[in-house]
Amino acid sequence: MRRFPIRSPLLLGALAALVAVAHADGQANAPANSQANKVHPIPGHALTGMEGRGLILLPLQFVRPGDKLGWVAAMPSPRDFLHVSDSLIGASLVNRAYRQKWVLPAALRRAFERGAGMIPDPDALPEQQLLPYLWKPKNQLTDPLAGVLRDIIVPHDSRYVLAPVELRFASPYDALPGTPPPDTTKGAAPAVQLAVLRLALIDAQGMAVMWAGDVVGDTARTPQAATASLATHLGDLLGAP
């Protein structure tokens, strides 16, 4: 599949404008162990069988603080950064994974605003059980998340949900074992990181996680560029025939 990198000046500019002193909203603190940092790739042909079906894309819930370059610590609002990241991810999926009928986060927010308390807030979902250092393969989806997702899907006539759970930034040497160390004979290594996204495909009616795994972007010098690269990679992976 041909790749068309996301270079929307509006979206990238919005991401750039969000970077400066951290607030706690939207952040998920991970334990200091190797399990929290391992990358588990999503399965190949991850949306096989979903062609023509409605698929709800949830908003991205968490960004992990503590990256080595301090990108998250420099954000005025991690939650706002995640909202703009939602736009990048949604645009990539609509353009590349076009065999699915996507319900995007903006539609979920409108349903919440119209729901008068009957529809859960899609930006405050209890997805902690899906975090990479807590999730165990073959675990049953449990309440409160299971019940909340059943309510989320009702207005949209779809049982399947794609949940971007956590965004984190890491050096390629930490995220991708086997990456050769940088050549520092001609100066310091470049200050770059890549974005890693944990996401899960969920059957909300059956209360089952069909798969959970990670997508990795290219190295970049800013969090907005790293996130744009990640969105492009995600669209390519899920749009692959």
Residue 233 domain-assigned (yes or no): yes
Question: 87 φ, ψ to 5°?
Answer: -65, -40
Residue 181 domain-assigned (yes or no): no
* Residue 50: domain span: 41-176+192-239
User: What is the pTM for the complete model shown?
Assistant: 0.83
Q: What mean pLDDT do residues 177-202 have?
A: 78
Q: What mean pLDDT do residues 1-29 have?
A: 42
Residue 32 domain-assigned (yes or no): no
Q: What mean pLDDT do residues 161-169 have?
A: 96
CB atoms within 10 A of CB 193: 23
HSE at residue 104, side-chain half, CA atoms within 13 A, is 16
Residue 20 domain-assigned (yes or no): no
pLDDT at 161 over 80: yes
Residue 63 domain-assigned (yes or no): yes
pLDDT of residue 186: 65
% the chain with pLDDT above 90: 53
Q: What mean pLDDT do residues 140-155 have?
A: 89
Residue 104 domain-assigned (yes or no): yes
pLDDT of residue 4: 33
Residue 187 domain-assigned (yes or no): no
Residue 140 domain-assigned (yes or no): yes
Give how many domains the chain has, as a whole number.
1
